[in-house]
Structure 1
Amino acid sequence: MGLRIALIASARFPVREPFAGGLEAHTWALARALTSRGHHVGLFAAPGSDPTLHLHELPVGTVTLSSAARADISMPHPVWMAEHHAYLQLMLDLARDGNQQFDIVHNNSLHYLPVAMAAAVPLPVVTTLHTPPTPWLESAIQTQDPCPVTFAAVSTHTAHAWQASVPAARVVRNGVDTRLWSQGPGGNDLVWSGRIVPEKGPHLAVEAARKAGFALRLAGPVGDERYFTEYVKPLLGDGIDYVGHLNQHRLAQLVGSAAAVLVTPCWDEPYGLVVAEALACGTPVCGFDRGALREILTSACGRLAPADDVAALADLLPETVQLDRGAARKRAEEFCSLESMAGSYSALYEELLG
């Protein structure tokens, strides 16, 4: 018999294609995978999310503040206030009668309130740690000793980063749908995909591709217009193309037709969903050795250069494109499949429910 799962998503962006980022793509895939395993998933997400999911829209934007409150010097940014109100209302609703609708709560958002208010909810609460430690979340964890939340980290690297405040986080790595992200034929060009923001470093991917003599296609949502205009757009042309914000099907085709995928984080990547997507398409990866990337890649399917070393990254590209595409696909199937992730979360839910 399936479980009734309340899956809490980010309120910032809708959970629908084309996805704003890896968190939304992960939440969408997890909801579908859990449903396919026979669970009933109620997804609490931003308005405009995929209606094919069992969607409960978070009440983002319903707070009405007086002119006096808005003029107060402590007034935060309106977006922050709207998210705070939405999660506050959700957690109060779950505290009131959540056990009549659900068996377990899985918090897949980055907000602090589902953790801070977990003790008021008459259900086990699981929270996935998708990022390095944040002050808001660490504060929420410390409000109760012990914290009643069970934590899962998306990588060993992320679990270690949280060790000071969450010493016993489980590791449940993000998975990708290996049916959707199917093995492609490869090609001659490189691909970079992700949110176009400074911390993802697409301008460094362009530099490395040019140094190594490869054409490069960039894909993803522009998350920072100023960065795109000043640092990425001037680099376009002469074999460097921005192909836009693609849905998963078109992105999988693009990645599958690449000789290699470049991954150029300028921060310690907590997981690296684009790496798993590339491997599932049979496309080897060449990236910076930051965060959790070395947990996913092996010498059979990728190469890692020292962080921020564009010249070293470029030097590794000729051997990266010669790696066996079948080995890359096999790594995805064995290490980062959606089925494995959903199975691990299902086992965790069952454990917590006894």
Structure 2
Amino acid sequence: MKIAQVSPLYESVPPKCYGGTERVVSYLTEELVRRGHDVTLFASGDSQTGARLVACAPEALRLAGCRDPLAMHLCMLEEVARHVEEFDVVHFHVDYLHFPLSRRSNVTQLTTLHGRLDIPELQPLFREYRDMPLVSISDAQRHPLPFANWIGTVYHGLPRELYRFRPQPGTYLAFLGRISPEKRPDRAIIIARRAGIPLKIAAKVDKADQDYFEQIIRPLLDHPLVEFVGEINDREKEEFLGGALALLFPIDWPEPFGLVMIEAMACGTPVIAFRNGSVPEVMVDGVTGYIVDDLETAIRRVGEIDRLDRTRCRRVFEERFSTPAMADAYLRLYRQLCELGRPTRPQPSPQTIQRVA
């Protein structure tokens, strides 16, 4: 098949450090190329891929300090439009930005939504664009928009060889991701301190979360059990996650997927996660870790983590969250859409313009 993958430009594909969406786009793209498909990747120019790369920005926008990322993304969508007839299917990963363009094209396309959908302003938008074929990354992600045109749920996958299995547990707890109120690094610090076990925090701090970091988190770092590592890259993750006793995932928001959970499973490291969003779908409670509802339970489960078999954690990852499994699911959706034929897009109904004198 001739397939286009349209990635956000905030990070390269794959990202140098943090960047869940771009990382998934990379894994999917490379697996499709490996299987012999003709893949074109629309992404930043510093991306690394076996596909044909159409560079839509010289480098990742976050690293370049771009002041208007929307402008660059609109230029990318125009570039996609120039080539759209070359593809059997176009797979968008840029949220809803392309909807007006796609509605007025008869190209076969679909959109994977990678973010949270419980934002009130999204309700009228997705009601307007109910003709857009959508893919969720967990069933839980769909709950705020049950009326949308969902055609499937595809869980994220990682290459089996990306992280080595580590059969022996480490001596510290790990927190990996982003410093933000919804990720609750403060909970992770409380859990570690009360359990009496060292905690290593590997996380980036976005500008939007700088005040939260300085006012709430930084004072909590002044403790002998807590070490702030900062942002780490993909190569460093294996040692960081694989060397941990457990990963703490104390989220306080409707997490659409939570890639770090399966990264830990790939290393054999169990996860202690709060029951929010996709967690009950991704986790197997009592097998790949523990699902908890409060701090007291989380602290108690830290003391019970040695009951879990790290080999089973790795096995669940291989069975459910590998890149081949993800690619198989997307290829089924591509073929189903292609079999339906190129769509005739409904035009928006004309509205009477109310003139104001």
TM-score range, shorter chain: 0.7 to 0.9
Moved more, 87-96 or 221-230: 87-96
Partner of 2:2: 4
Corresponding position: 1:275 with 2:273: no
| Maintained 8 Å contact 2:7/2:25 | yes
Partner of 2:215: 230
Where do 1:4-83 residues align within 5 Å?
A: 4-50=2-48, 54-59=52-57, 79=67, 82-83=68-69
Question: Do the aligned partners of residues 23 and 252 (structure 1) sit closer, same or farther apart at CA in structure 2, a change above 3 Å counting?
Answer: same
TM-score, length-normalised on structure 1? 0.85
Corresponding position: 1:154 with 2:137: yes
| Maintained 8 Å contact 1:191/1:255 | yes
CA–CA distance in structure 1, aligned partners of residues 205 and 141 of structure 2: 26
Q: What's the offset of the Cα at 1:311?
A: 2.4
CA–CA distance in structure 1, aligned partners of residues 203 and 330 of structure 2: 28
Partner of 1:204: 187
Partner of 1:74: none
CA–CA distance in structure 1, aligned partners of residues 215 and 19 of structure 2: 22
Opposite residue 150 of structure 1, the aligned amino acid is: P
Moved over 6 A (4+): none
Partner of 2:103: 119
| Maintained 8 Å contact 2:127/2:147 | no
Q: What's the offset of the Cα at 1:314?
A: 0.9
| Maintained 8 Å contact 1:217/1:241 | yes
Per-residue displacement from partner, 1:220-248 (whole Å, max 9, x unpaired)? 22222222222222222412112222221
Partner of 1:172: 154
Opposite residue 311 of structure 2, the aligned amino acid is: G
| Maintained 8 Å contact 1:87/1:114 | no
Query: Alignment length, in residue pairs?
Result: 327
- Unaligned 5+ segments in structure 2 are 60-65, 340-357
Q: What's the offset of the Cα at 1:138?
A: 4.7
- Give secondary structure in 2 for the equivalent of 1:87: helix
Opposite residue 84 of structure 1, the aligned amino acid is: L
Q: What's the offset of the Cα at 1:345?
A: 0.7
Q: What's the offset of the Cα at 1:348?
A: 1.2
The root-mean-square deviation of aligned C-alpha atoms, in Å, is: 2.3
| Maintained 8 Å contact 1:302/1:320 | yes
| Maintained 8 Å contact 1:18/1:245 | no
CA–CA distance in structure 1, aligned partners of residues 101 and 56 of structure 2: 17
TM-score, length-normalised on structure 2? 0.84
CA–CA distance in structure 1, aligned partners of residues 325 and 176 of structure 2: 24
| Maintained 8 Å contact 1:158/1:270 | yes
| Maintained 8 Å contact 1:218/1:241 | yes
Match of 1:344 among 329, 347, 351: 329
Q: What's the offset of the Cα at 1:209?
A: 0.8
CA–CA distance in structure 1, aligned partners of residues 77 and 106 of structure 2: 11
CA–CA distance in structure 2, aligned partners of residues 189 and 97 of structure 1: 50
- Give secondary structure in 2 for the equivalent of 1:194: strand
Opposite residue 103 of structure 2, the aligned amino acid is: A
CA–CA distance in structure 2, aligned partners of residues 160 and 343 of structure 1: 25
Q: What's the offset of the Cα at 1:290?
A: 0.6
- Unaligned 5+ segments in structure 1 are 62-77
Match of 1:183 among 165, 168, 188: 165
Per-residue displacement from partner, 1:159-186 (whole Å, max 9, x unpaired)? 33321333x3411011122211221132
Opposite residue 329 of structure 1, the aligned amino acid is: R
